[in-house]
Structure 1
């Protein structure tokens, strides 16, 4: 009679032994850009908390920090050759929170809640426009484009939109006596900046600016960066307000430069011999 449970022989070659699971090691260069993105996301979420607590100076500082980290993570990924689809998706989700939700919540807590439902609708429009702008950017990067298109964005980018939409708050902290921090103006201004983000307005990107720095300009560049950082820390409201105003004033020049490039490309295509 056969036994139901035959004895186990560890030396039996017929016994299938479980294979040890090999742990796949990931280089640190693949993780570093995502860590920078997550630090930016933490800054954006902290900005929301500080806005609720009424600490607008610290909240804006967190959004500025998130913008700096957002400018760094992509360049670090390209420098380390660690770009990935996961990193791109994570960056878009972080940008939506940092530059869509956080500024909208800050404006609503600061002044838009005085308009009740209309103020909340304005905040929603800005946040939704930021999400749509990021989704459009993710789709557009896959299509073939001329080289000069890399110098431009379509619409105001999300980080710039977040810092520009807070201009009334900067001016209010500076106590500028022009009445720009009134509720109706802030409500309309918030919606307009949101629509600019999803518009087809070409804006200068600056992606290729500074990719190559002349040797003689390295030390002056260091000095300029230190001076700007010192001014931002010493006079944050002045620097942020001036930067937002200059950015808005530069939009027509970006539009004009875009059409100049487009006209040059059209003339080149007309003058090129047909095959």
Structure 2
């Protein structure tokens, strides 16, 4: 370092810290990653509630993690703060919040009654969620993604997979019927959801859900009524939303097959995008 005698000692003292501060992260880059960290903490807190036996709060904690997971990507786009670090952090947080946490919650709820089969089904769910996220990350830089170029997702996204895994719990809390907590049934249900996450089934993405102009007011009204139903009959409404999504899976299969028949030529390659650009596709 060249010492400039024209600078007073106070000036040299003030300029040094300013250079170091300028090299730090701006709040624009921190906000999306902070939201992702909040989603991770929410998922881990869901495990804590399950250990205490408060399964309603544990489910709500995972739902909150899913909402935050949907917000962080949009915040990154709005702030122009997409980074590779954010993409990796997002996937690591998703693997815990939507893979490990739901598996442990369901195991503590009912699968512990059959330790061998129950634990294996919980592991299958968690591992398949992690494998799905690893596959998603490995394809970030791939140009040839037929499902994505047609506006579809490959398999069930991790947050929705967690929501599907909780369907028996929704019904059990809403009705208190012990049939929905049958550990054998729940084990098979967890394995089915694990398969849906790692499958190559084309599922509808947000870009494919475009209601015609004549139905837009109807859709807005339905969204408002759904929010009201969530506030009054939370668990029945969550079960209904989950069942509707399950019914949309065959609709996505039929729609994708129809599109492929109409366009036999290879689809236009999708440009590589950061994971934050498609937070609900992970």
TM-score category by the smaller chain? Answer: 0.7 to 0.9
Alpha-carbon distance in structure 2 between the residues aligned to 1:45 and 1:95: 11
Q: Please name the residue that 2:238 is paired with.
A: 240
Q: TM-score, normalised by structure 2?
A: 0.80
CA, structure 1 residues 150+58, in 2 after alignment: closer, same or farther (shift >3 Å)? farther
CA contact (8 A) 1:115 1:183 kept: yes
Q: Please name the residue that 1:252 is paired with.
A: 250
Unmatched segments (≥5 aa) in structure 1: 1-9, 12-16, 270-275
Q: Please name the residue that 2:85 is paired with.
A: 86
Pairwise CA distance, 1:230: 2.7
Greater fraction helix: 2
Alpha-carbon distance in structure 2 between the residues aligned to 1:97 and 1:207: 27
Once the two structures are superposed, the pairs formed by residues 1-275 of structure 1 within 5 Å of their partners are 20=16, 22=19, 23-24=21-22, 25-144=24-143, 145=145, 149=149, 151-175=151-175, 179-207=179-207, 209=209, 224-266=222-264, 268=265
Larger C-alpha radius of gyration, 1 or 2?
1
CA, structure 1 residues 135+39, in 2 after alignment: closer, same or farther (shift >3 Å)? same
Q: Please name the residue that 1:3 is paired with.
A: none
Helix, strand or coil at the partner of 1:203: strand
Helix, strand or coil at the partner of 1:20: helix
Alpha-carbon distance in structure 1 between the residues aligned to 2:262 and 2:150: 16
Pairwise CA distance, 1:152: 1.3
Alpha-carbon distance in structure 1 between the residues aligned to 2:253 and 2:159: 19
Pairwise CA distance, 1:151: 1.9
CA, structure 1 residues 225+34, in 2 after alignment: closer, same or farther (shift >3 Å)? farther
Q: Please name the residue that 2:275 is paired with.
A: none
Question: Deviation per CA, 1:132-162, whole angstroms, max 9, x where unpaired?
Answer: 0011011122211458636211111100100
Alpha-carbon distance in structure 2 between the residues aligned to 1:141 and 1:168: 34
CA, structure 1 residues 221+254, in 2 after alignment: closer, same or farther (shift >3 Å)? closer
Root-mean-square deviation over aligned CA pairs: 2.9
Alpha-carbon distance in structure 2 between the residues aligned to 1:57 and 1:94: 22
CA, structure 1 residues 80+42, in 2 after alignment: closer, same or farther (shift >3 Å)? same
Higher relative contact order (CA 8 A, sep 6+): 2
Pairwise CA distance, 1:33: 0.9
